[in-house]
């Protein structure tokens, strides 16, 4: 297939935007993938901050989505997209002029914030999940079933009884024994 046939097979931006306005989410995906990298680079160069660029980038696409039904192909889609980006940048700079400066110790304050998602904490959480799965596997089938139905599915004792065919008091007893065993296995 040559390039001209390929270009004809892929709809233009205007056709994609009209299709998106009519409810075709796949058309938006094509538009987004077609323009995301260049738009993001433009915003990073303008803002000189990937974090700020991320925020404005998301806002630009949210405005594209929100304006889809009122969009008309009076200008090129790219012109319209970058006009939204330009306006968002102007809003950002205008707000920045009215924003108080960061305190002198802002970097120290930021550095003092504990990161809850460190590799050590992730490893610890993984190990805890692994220990819990092993402890659950060690329970008798009837006890494991009631624990999973109660804790993962948030079912009442009566609902668990209906599912398992056991009475409410039997379910309650199985759950209590299972929880006692789990505590003993997880907190030796």
pLDDT tens string 57-84: 999 999 999 998 888 888 888 989 999 9
pLDDT tier, 139 (very low <50, low <70, confident <90, very high otherwise): very high
Q: How confident is the model at residue 50 (pLDDT cuts 50, 70, 90)?
A: very high
CATH topology for 9-98 is: Rna Polymerase Sigma Factor; Chain: A (1.10.1740)
* Angstrom distance (rounded) from CA 89 to CA 150: 50
Report whether pLDDT(5) > 80.
no
* Matching CATH number, 119-186, of 1.10.3720.10, 1.10.10.10, 1.10.443.10, 3.40.1160.10: 1.10.10.10
Half-sphere exposure of 69 (CA within 13 A, CB side): 2
Q: How many CB atoms lie within 10 A of CB 144?
A: 18
Task: Decide: 145 and 136 in contact? Cβ < 8 Å.
Answer: no
Average pLDDT, the chain: 87
- What are the b/e assignments for 8-27, b being 16+ CB within 10 Å? eeeeebbebbbbbbeeeeeb
28 compared with 74, residue with greater pLDDT? 28
pLDDT given for residue 8 in this prediction: 58
Tell me the pTM: 0.50
Kindly list the domain boundaries of the chain, sorted by start residue.
Answer: 9-98, 119-186
């Amino acid at each position: 297939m040559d390039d001209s046939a390929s270009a004809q097979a892929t709809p233009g931006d205007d056709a994609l935007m009209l299709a998106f306005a009519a409810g075709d989410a796949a058309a938006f995906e094509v538009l987004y993938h077609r323009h995301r990298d260049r738009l993001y680079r433009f915003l990073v160069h303008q803002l000189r901050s990937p974090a700020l660029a991320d925020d404005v980038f998301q806002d630009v696409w949210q405005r594209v989505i929100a304006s889809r039904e009122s969009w008309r192909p009076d200008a090129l889609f790219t012109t319209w997209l970058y006009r939204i980006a330009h306006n968002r940048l102007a809003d950002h700079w205008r707000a920045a002029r009215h924003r108080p400066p960061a305190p002198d110790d802002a970097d120290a304050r930021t550095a003092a914030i504990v990161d809850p998602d460190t590799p050590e904490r992730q490893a610890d959480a993984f190990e805890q999940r692994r220990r819990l799965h092993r402890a659950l596997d060690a329970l008798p089938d009837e006890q494991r079933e009631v624990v999973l139905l109660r804790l993962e599915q948030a079912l009442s004792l009566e609902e668990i009884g209906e599912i398992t065919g056991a009475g409410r008091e039997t379910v309650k007893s199985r759950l209590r024994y299972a929880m006692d065993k789990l505590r003993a296995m997880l907190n030796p």
